[in-house]
Structure 1
Amino acid sequence: MLSNNAVVVYFSRTGENYSVGEIEVGNTAKVAQVIASRIGAPTVEIVPVEPYPNVYDEAVAQATQERSAGARPAFTLVAGDGADNPAAMLDSAETIYLGYPIWRSDMPMPVYTFLESRDWSGKTIAPFCTHEGSGLADTVASIRRVVVGATVLDGMELRGAVAQNDVDATVRAVDGWLG
């Protein structure tokens, strides 16, 4: 699965989170950082233009409303480690490791906006998610429907509480997935 030309792209949320309380680094961001360190790839974060509320129940209400409406919230891409031009990083990458939390058995709507905004022809996408019981849900199939021309690999799922609180278990899960 490794590619010498890869980038780790992820959406993650801080603030009050289910089962882990108030956090400063999102669950999915923690997994993305482990993947990036294991494969030596840069990271790019999908950041919604309108941030989600810090309070968990308010964030859930907003996410539920967006999903019901089929919303496609605007986003920006932020490259990690001070790199610039994340769009160019994506254009040149052969493999994109795509991370997201599972919200109400689906990807957050900004991830759909991101996926629908690019040409994925010839790319390989390796999805990974954090969740608290849903696993990957049907997100791999959803990604396959959206990214025409790309190869979508089987995904990795990890409970958010594990990603947030158990670095060793997160590294083992990532290493097992990466092979």
Structure 2
Amino acid sequence: MNCGQNHHLFHVILHTYGSWLPGDPKGFRAVKHKKHCEGDWKNPPPNGLHNGLLNYSQSISNPVVSLNIAQRRIVAEAIADNLNHQGAKISICSVSEQHAHLLGEFPIDEVHYKPQINQYMQRCKTWAAKRLRDADEWGGGTLWAQGSKVVRINDRRHWDNVYAYIKRHVNEHAYIYQCL
């Protein structure tokens, strides 16, 4: 959905470090599809299919990062503040224990939007980690998983559905930051 010259709406999803590893029972995707995985989060693979890969992934990773309630508030506000500072307009942001969702309008080139939004989000992730450290809510280490999932919003109905979906994350004790 175009919001004006070079402004477009997107749903962006971030994960904390270690929250979705190769072999995860929710399903997974290997980088450049080096390993095929049956199913996805909507239709997960059969139980135990990738237990060996998951055990290996966990053995070489640091512990999963889980955000407490106070940390969720700091992260949501940091993401919204940083994106607004970068010229994006955030409608809603939710931060749960191990992931975040946001719906926003980004001033970007519509052709190559994924790398541009990933740059925005990398700056947000860095800023959120700094804000947690400044508040003595984070001892250091890796806070975020690499990358983000970016979904372009197609029309008003899509926007309304995503907005409601993000708002429902309050049911999993997410901190909700709303700007509209």
- After TM superposition, the score normalised by the length of structure 2 is 0.26
**Greater strand share, 1 or 2?**
1
Larger RCO (alpha carbons 8 Å, 6+ apart)? 2
